[in-house]
Chain A
Amino acid sequence: MTAFTDVPDVAEFRSQLVAWLDENDLAPPDDHSLDAHHEQHARVLGALYDAGWMRWGWPESAGGLGGPMILRAVVGEEVVGRRLDEPGPYSMIEVLTPTMIDYARPGLAAEMVPRLLSGRETWCQGFSEPGSGSDLASLTTRAEQRGDGWVINGQKVWTSFAQYATRCILLTRTGPGHAGITAFFVDMDSPGIDVRPLRTMHGVDEFCEVYFDDVVVPTDRMLGNPGDGWQLAMDLLPYERSTCFWQRIAYLYSRFDALVGDVKDLGQAADFDMGETYLALHTLRCRSRATQHRLAGGQKLGPDTSIDKVLLSGAEQQLYDTVRNLLPGVVELDDTAWRTEFLYSRAATIYGGTAEVQRNIIARRLLDLGKE
């Protein structure tokens, strides 16, 4: 267990975590398969949970140790920034846990959240559908009440890590419009669920199609009440765009460190491109820091986080464009991590709300430009 008797301050927390990570070797094996990443994820979370680190910043009612959520961002920064866990799997915790704490019955949250935080289980998020991407509220996966349960039929897509998941936070349609969306916490081994990984252009089969064919879910697995699903989806954005972004930024900085090493023979010729990338990453990091301090100060995050999202996707693509520009052939001719990462970065302006949707939100809600 961590040594703190009281809620630690951020600097003290970080220095003790760093010392602990220096003493406990959690370095990943040299195996870049998705299976290996999944195993490493479980191993790192298990160790961090047992030592208490994974529990800070989460409420005691859900198995946490309390304290401000900024502590979670510190853990994420150190774990992902050191490349102990990959940013994708690690980020799922931040996307899923707050939803459970805010919407599941207290007993269910207390039972389930520790399984996720300790890496004993992986969960997935069933939101997007083939016909509902940017327009998420048009989703059509049906849930119908039958006896003392609900029966689900439909299809989800882009469901990250569904092939490893034991549970799914699933959005379904139970009525018309935004108020007709209802969320469930579904066991992935329920009869009638079929998971098919998608082949993607970067060669990592992280995203899945998930089919639901008369899948029965008990009523006590509903998250919130019927019709709360849209609000649930909106409520998780502040977490996704604060602590979760901070981890991704830490990851991008670690990759930028690597690029500084890879381009050193180019000398001055690389300075402008490297400076531009640094400026984009630094701007993003400053913005994300300010966002987290606002959240910590009790302010409600809203459409302003669309600015963080635009900055993140822009900086990420700029980093990998710079990789390709300064290291000609490395993406095209060499089978290195840069290739996979460059290709994956093409999705940065698409997932988590497209860059266009973010700009629509900024125009409507922040600039008050009225309707289109």
Chain B
Amino acid sequence: MDAPLDAESLTLLEDGLRKTMLSTSGAELDAALAEMGWADMLSGMPEDAIPLVFRLLGETGSHASVLNDVVQQTADRELGATPALPFAGGGWVVWDYHNVADPALGGLPLHRVDEGGLLRLADARRALGWWLVGSSRAMLTLARRHALDRVQFGRPIAGFQAVRHRLAETLVAIEGAEATLTLPGVDNPDLTALLAKAAAGKAALTAAKNCQQVLGGIGFTAEYDLHHHVKRILVLDGLLGSSRELTKKAGAGLRARGSVPRLAQL
């Protein structure tokens, strides 16, 4: 896959990926993605493939170990390995399907390990940013639908300004995060990716809080889908550095530099 895909082919690819992700998850989805040419997509068209695949993981609520591949590719290493990934608080995790008895919150096959090595994380942080944005959109979609359907005091709760403003705030956070993710990181890819992951993590936490509140009791039940997304974003926010940690790191960078980088240029 050498030439960039046109818009129509991208739409077809998106439809195919979405359908697959809605029917499978985990190791099975990894196998399905391999069959669909994930390795070629990642090496041949990463600018399209990473946002697309990771956003769809979020929107569909499925998961696959493709983050490992992004990390490996950045390091010019063979795909298929399970590198130790930094987690919030100075810890390390690996993403693999052994030890299935003890998954992370929400079912992701992440396990603590004692140590890990230095990695370049720009691409992987962007990938996680897209995943977080996808999950956030999924939560907003659920909350919006509920607000329109749920009738209290004789009218849909979407008619109450307090509810509307929470959902509006959520959209602002998501759109802002997406803008940081789509910025080309030409001048400073590491800082651009760090800020994008921080923005996406923060937006996802905002989305989870607001959508949980709008969904009321139903959102707290296991039969309703919201909790999958809420748990997912808590884990993804911690992976490769939490929004809180990355934000602090960005502040430390300003202190070291003595001025503020203008990463976005017209």
Contact = CB atoms under 8 A, between A and B. Distances in A.
Interface of A: 10, 70, 73-74, 77, 246, 253, 256-257, 260-261, 263-264, 267-268, 270-276, 278-279, 281-290, 292, 307, 310-311, 356, 358-360, 362-364, 366-367, 369-372
A282 B252 contact: no
B260 A256 contact: yes
B172 A311 contact: yes
A360 B161 contact: yes
B168 interface: yes
A282 B148 contact: no
A253 B261 CA distance: 9
Nearest to A77: B266
A370 B156 contact: yes
A256 B156 CA distance: 44
Q: Which of A271, A274, A311, A363 is packed against the most chain B CB atoms within 10 Å?
A: A363
Given A283-B177, A283-B179, A278 B167 contact: no
A360 B266 CA distance: 30
Contacts of B111: none
Given A278-B250, A307-B172, A370-B148, 12 more contacts: A10-B266, A257-B260, A260-B254, A271-B249, A274-B250, A274-B255, A275-B252, A279-B195, A307-B176, A359-B169, A364-B164, A367-B144
Interface residues of B, number: 45
A151 B86 CA distance: 71
Interface string B212-252: 00000000000000000000000000000000101111111
Contact of A359 (B160, B168, B265): B168
Given A264-B255, A270-B251, A278-B260, A287 B175 contact: yes
7 contacts: A246-B266, A268-B252, A279-B199, A285-B263, A292-B266, A360-B161, A362-B168
Contact of B164 (A70, A73, A284, A372): A372
Interface of B: 144, 147-148, 156, 158-161, 164-165, 167-169, 171-172, 175-177, 179-180, 182-183, 195, 198-199, 202, 244, 246-252, 254-255, 257-260, 262-266
B144 A310 contact: no
B159 A371 contact: yes
A256 B255 CA distance: 12
Q: Top 3 A-B pairs ranked by shortest CB distance?
A: A275-B251, A271-B251, A363-B164
B167 A369 contact: yes
A285 B262 contact: yes
Given A257-B260, A260-B260, A282-B263, A267 B255 contact: yes
A360 B164 contact: yes
Contact of A271 (B156, B248, B257): B248
Contacts of A70: 266
A275 B158 CA distance: 35
Contact of B251 (A253, A274, A311): A274
A300 B252 CA distance: 39
Main secondary structure of the interface of B (DSSP, over half): helix
B255 to A, nearest CB: 6
Contacts of A260: 254-255, 257-260
A281 B177 CA distance: 12
A333 B175 CA distance: 39
A143 to B, nearest CB: 34
A271 B252 contact: yes
A270 B255 contact: yes
A307 B178 CA distance: 12
Contacts of B264: 282, 285-286, 288-289
A275 B251 CA distance: 4
Nearest to B262: A253
A368 to B, nearest CB: 8
Contact of B165 (A263, A289, A359): A359
Contacts of B255: 260, 263-264, 267-268, 270-271, 274
Given A367-B144, A369-B147, A279 B164 contact: no
Nearest to A278: B250
A371 B158 CA distance: 8
Nearest to A277: B251
A73 B266 CA distance: 8
Contacts of B175: 287, 307
Given A253-B262, A260-B259, A272-B247, A286 B252 contact: no
Nearest to B174: A307
A292 B266 CA distance: 8
B140 to A, nearest CB: 8
A13 B24 CA distance: 52
Contacts of B257: 260
Contacts of B265: 289
Contacts of A289: 179, 183, 264-266
B266 A283 contact: no
Contacts of B179: 283, 286-287, 289-290
Contact of A279 (B158, B168, B171, B198): B198
Contacts of B246: 275
Contacts of B144: 367, 369
Nearest to A271: B251
Contacts of B183: 286, 289
